Amino acid sequence: MTKALYPGTFDPITLGHIDLIERAHNLFDEVIIAVATSMSKKPAFEPEERVLQIKEIFKDTRGIKVIGFSGLLVDLARDQESTILVRGLRAVSDFEYEFQLASMNRAMMPELESIFLTPKAKYSFLSSTLVREIASMGGDVSPFVDPLIQEALKLRFKK
């Protein structure tokens, strides 16, 4: 059974993330969505909330598991018995950071392979940061997120 890890903060999960998860799900037997605790970002949702949101979105999809984590990704990969890491690349600007991250992970865990997927063109500009910013100003985020997330953002940034 081939297990792939897809780590991220997913604050919030966007349609771009969902696109990558669905495509990874077509490639691997199991996709483990690993929701990271972020110390550096100012999250709209607590890690536990993000895990529950993503579980709800994929509740009817076999082969997708959602977990929270903090700490080193290589430790999580070992714990989950996965040697495949899925990462998304939206633009050339993402490549340098992702290349550095993949190289560092490989130095710590040589058997961990990073697989890069690009989103559909209509999601190539999309980021959680932009979605949070639009939502915080009362803007319509419906083209960018699942309806469940849209509602959660409305409640979070209610003015």
- Candidates 41, 120, 122, 154; catalytic one: 41
Question: SS3 sequence, the chain?
Answer: CCEEEEEECCCCCCHHHHHHHHHHHHHCCEEEEEEECCCCCCCCCCHHHHHHHHHHHCCCCCCEEEEEECCCHHHHHHHHCCCEEEEECCCHHHHHHHHHHHHHHHHHCCCCEEEEECCCHHHCCCCHHHHHHHHHCCCCCCCCCCHHHHHHHHHHCCC
- Candidates 17, 50, 87, 132; catalytic one: 17
Q: Is 90 a catalytic residue?
A: yes
Q: Is 128 a catalytic residue?
A: yes
- Candidates 23, 90, 106, 156; catalytic one: 90
- Candidates 25, 50, 128, 132; catalytic one: 128
Q: Is 59 a catalytic residue?
A: no
Q: Is 17 a catalytic residue?
A: yes
**Active-site residue numbers?**
17, 41, 90, 128
